[in-house]
Amino acid sequence: MNRRYFGTDGIRGPYGGPVVNEGFFLELGQAVARWLRGRGASAQPVLVGRDTRGSGPSLARAFGEGVALGGFRPRHAGVVPTPAVAKAILREGAALGCSVTASHNPAADNGIKFFARDGSKLSDADEAEIESLLGEPGPRPALPGTDPGSLEGFVESYVEEVMRVLPMDALSGWRVALDTANGATAVSSPAAFRALGAEVISIGDRPDGANINLGVGSEHPGALCGLALSGGARMGVAHDGDGDRCVLCDEKGQVLDGDEVLTLLALEGLRRGTLRNRTLVVTVQSNLGVDRAVEQAGGRVVRSRVGDRYVAELMRSEGASLGGESSGHIVNFDYGATGDGLVAALMVASVMLGTGRPLSSLRTDLRRFPQAQRALVVREKVPIDALKALPAAIRSLEQEFGAAGRVLVRYSGTEPKLRLLVEAQSDAVVGAAMDRLVAAARSELPLA
């Protein structure tokens, strides 16, 4: 399903560009209102949150004005984590929620993410319908130059809800290193950890509108690792700019990725009998070692396309409760319908408490398969199934590997690149397989 403006996770781009500007956001608000009326909603509030980017207030205000022109009441939450908006929709009786954010992108970018009445992200079909309603004639009043303000107690309610993951004072005696990326979690995550009894040492907690994700946060975990190691922290937590994911480091200052986190959470869920349907959902990017670890413990792994909302969709269809991406999006339906970096970090702390094992030990439950990745720049994205040599090479390797390896070949959704991934049980086998794929691709694709 082709969509012009929406990508894998909402709309995103440079602020002031053809899409991320006040005029477009005004039209978008009106289109969303039309879409909501078509779904039977009427006069219900629409929640609007944002991260700390300097462009956030004017974009949120413009979107809210569009919503109001369409007959709905915008309720501005101000600076809040994206998952806080998703969780509040039912509590506030809202027709829809959105967050004005560009996630882990630099401050020069911005965008918007949407959530349905149940807190889940909109589907591809929903987004396509909204796009079809854009551009209809409508009034364009001058926008006031003031910040729309924010709801009282919004962050506090979110923190109280998230703290249900652990008993009160469960982290008493802990020291936690925290990097909030100068973003939307600068208040909420420290408050939650401290309320649970932890001592917090922090960086990336001085947002100024221009420094979100600037050398800090989930994309730049090096400083966090140094802080955790030098400060004697039991764990380090780095959020992205809007707080829907996290990257962790252990007490030795070593980074864990989402695959390691998902594996340790799934294995603990299997031990406790809380992993619904004994199923973990990951994407096609996750390492095959995740499958091996979970299957050996009596569970199963199913894979979705890349994107946390596709993970959540497959979780619903499979009756699963846990899923996520190697990038750090972790979804647990016991605590919400979408990814939440703070919840993920607290779930990991719960496993540490329950097992008595440090994070450096828990991470060893995942034994990765050797992996290689290549990206070939192409002049034209010729459909892979229209080729001969490349599909033949893929089939041949899959037959040779069986369950002991895998091959993934796909075009990038945003760049003129063919992406190749190979996993197998030895580096030598991986290297030889990658050479075969590259040779096949070069033989029949117009490479740049």
Look up the CATH number of the domain holding residue 437.
Answer: 3.30.310.50
Give the CA distances from residue 230 to residues 130, 175, 289, in Å, rounded to whole numbers and listed in that order.
49, 12, 31
User: Residue 346 carries which DSSP code?
Assistant: H
Say if residue 112 is in the same domain as residue 38. yes
Say if residue 16 is in the same domain as residue 144. yes
* pLDDT tens for each residue of 235-281: 999 999 999 999 999 999 999 999 999 999 999 999 999 999 999 99
> What is the full DSSP assignment across 116-165?
-TTSPBPPHHHHHHHHHTTT-----PPPPSS-----TTHHHHHHHHHGGG
Say if residue 119 is in the same domain as residue 185. no
Is residue 178 included in any domain, yes or no? yes
Say if residue 22 is in the same domain as residue 147. yes
Say if residue 73 is in the same domain as residue 124. yes
Q: Which amino acid is at 58?
A: S
Number of domains in the chain: 4
What is the distance between the alpha carbons of residues 182 and 210, in angstroms, rounded to a whole number? Answer: 9
Is residue 267 included in any domain, yes or no? yes
Give the model's pLDDT for residue 198.
Answer: 98
Give the model's pLDDT for residue 42.
Answer: 84
Say if residue 300 is in the same domain as residue 423. no
Give the model's pLDDT for residue 154.
Answer: 86
Say if residue 138 is in the same domain as residue 219. no
Contact of 32 with 130, CB cutoff 8 Å? yes
* pLDDT tens for each residue of 396-411: 999 999 988 999 999 9
Give the model's pLDDT for residue 150.
Answer: 63
Give the model's pLDDT for residue 144.
Answer: 47
117 contacts: CB under 8 Å, gap ≥ 6: 89, 90, 94, 95, 96
Give the model's pLDDT for residue 148.
Answer: 59
Contact of 408 with 326, CB cutoff 8 Å? no
Nearest to 286 by CA among 112, 134, 421, 122: 421
Say if residue 137 is in the same domain as residue 232. no
Is residue 381 included in any domain, yes or no? yes
Say if residue 16 is in the same domain as residue 140. yes
Nearest to 103 by CA among 325, 262, 341, 416: 341
Say if residue 263 is in the same domain as residue 233. no
Say if residue 395 is in the same domain as residue 310. no
Is residue 78 included in any domain, yes or no? yes
Is residue 28 included in any domain, yes or no? yes
Look up the CATH number of the domain holding residue 228.
Answer: 3.40.120.10
Query: Which domain covers residue 17, as residue numbers?
Result: 11-151
* Domain final residue, candidates 341, 365, 389: 365
Is residue 4 included in any domain, yes or no? no
* Domain final residue, candidates 365, 392, 407: 365
Is residue 193 included in any domain, yes or no? yes
Contact of 245 with 339, CB cutoff 8 Å? yes
Is residue 413 included in any domain, yes or no? yes
As averages over each run of 10 residues, the pLDDT of the chain (448 residues) reads 80 93 94 95 91 96 94 93 94 94 96 95 94 68 51 87 95 98 98 98 97 96 96 97 96 96 98 97 94 97 91 96 94 94 97 97 95 94 94 95 91 86 94 96 92
Say if residue 35 is in the same domain as residue 130. yes
* Domain final residue, candidates 115, 135, 151: 151
Q: Which of 103, 150, 189, 321 is catalytic?
A: 103
In the residue annotation, 103 being an active-site residue is answered as yes
Using DSSP's 3-state secondary structure scheme, residue 425 falls into coil
What is the distance between the alpha carbons of residues 67 and 326, in angstroms, rounded to a whole number? Answer: 35
